[in-house]
Amino acid sequence: MILITGGRGAVATHLTTLLHRDGLATRVGSAAPEKLTPPEGVKTVRLDLTAPDTFPAALAGVTTVFLYASPDRVTDFIDHARQAGVTHIVLLSSSAVLGPDPENDPLAKSHLDVERALLSSPITTTILRPGSFASNAGGWAWAVKAGRPVSLPFPDAHTDPIHEKDVAEAAYAVLTDPRHHGGRFTLTGPESLTFAQQIDQLAAVTGRPVSIDHVTVEAWKRESAEYIPAAYADALLNWWETNDKPLPLTRTVEELTGRPPRTFTTWADDHAADFTDH
């Protein structure tokens, strides 16, 4: 039995579909299982990764876990997983842990703490480290639909946007192929693109003009304060400010899945309705 955590997320949703397609026994966990809509026959379970009392039922009969965890209760989760007989965990981490100073970057440190906890356990751990998710562009949807400019403090900052389907397919590969168990895999999209280039591609796909408001760092922090904690906002700003050149890319998605990763334009086409429907 494979347990998928964070079941409402885009990666988990696509991964569940792939596993079910191939007849692999799968259980999907979420803090709000009533909001899940898995394929027919896939069981759901309440799993709050901050609430250890939900761990035993979720892990019963499980041998493999796809995990997206915060560091808060990861040690408890590992203890319960070991007791339940889990032998393999695939962790969705972040390439931020490979940055120049992850110990002092709160975003990177949260992932690094989870990695360290798992790697110090007896459970075989495979780590996926994606770069920037293409879905981060979804944060621009409200402005685009409203015909307003997108606020950006560093429009020429580069990212390596990866489609959530590529992350899910890479996860499927490492979950199902024993040759990959215990590996460390850095995942990127096929292109290093600036935010301005992503917005141009989004405009081309949606047929809507999208402009940029080049705002100050302080203005962007005020705008994002409701949904990005200040410490994380500072980490993002620091990252964008230093990424003024194209980022190095990997071929890991192709090596794991057998085909090149999807482009940002493909992501924009797949999600065009998010930017055009009212």
Q: What would the pLDDT profile of 51-63 be if each residue is shown by its tens digit? A: 999 999 999 999 9
User: Domains of the chain by range and CATH?
Assistant: 2-130 (3.40.50.720), 134-161+189-247+262-278 (3.40.50.720)
Q: What would the pLDDT profile of 101-132 be if each residue is shown by its tens digit? A: 899 888 899 999 999 999 999 999 999 999 99
- Rounded to the nearest angstrom, the gap between the alpha carbon of residue 204 and the centroid of all alpha carbons in its chain is 25
Contacts of residue 132, defined as CB under 8 A and 6 or more positions apart, other chains included, come to 159, 160, 161, 162, 189
Q: What would the pLDDT profile of 19-53 be if each residue is shown by its tens digit? A: 999 999 999 999 999 999 999 999 999 999 999 99
- Does the pLDDT value for residue 251 go beyond 70? yes
Q: What would the pLDDT profile of 218-241 be if each residue is shown by its tens digit? A: 999 999 988 888 888 998 999 999
Kindly state the percentage of the chain with pLDDT values over 90.
Answer: 90
Q: What would the pLDDT profile of 125-184 be if each residue is shown by its tens digit? A: 999 999 999 999 999 999 999 999 999 999 999 999 999 999 999 999 999 999 999 999
- Does the pLDDT value for residue 100 go beyond 90? no
SS3 sequence of the chain? CEEECCCCCHHHHHHHHHHHHCCCCEEEEECCHHHCCCCCCCEEEECCCCCHHHHHHHHCCCCEEEECCCCCCHHHHHHHHHHHCCCEEEEECCHHHHCCCHHHCHHHHHHHHHHHHHHCCCCEEEEEEECCEHHHHHHHHHHHHCCCCEEECCCCCEECCECHHHHHHHHHHHHHCHHHCCCEEEECCCCCEEHHHHHHHHHHHHCCCCCEEECCHHHHHHHHCCCCCHHHHHHHHHHHHHCCCCCCCCCHHHHHHCCCCCCHHHHHHHCHHHHHCC
Q: Identity (one letter) of the amino acid at 41? A: G
Quick one: tokens of 181?
């168990």
pTM of the model: 0.95
pLDDT of residue 278: 58
Interatomic CA distance for residues 224 and 61, integer angstroms? 42
Interatomic CA distance for residues 63 and 89, integer angstroms? 9
Please calculate the CA angle 105-109-112 and round it to the nearest 5 degrees.
140
Question: How high does pLDDT run on average in the chain?
Answer: 95
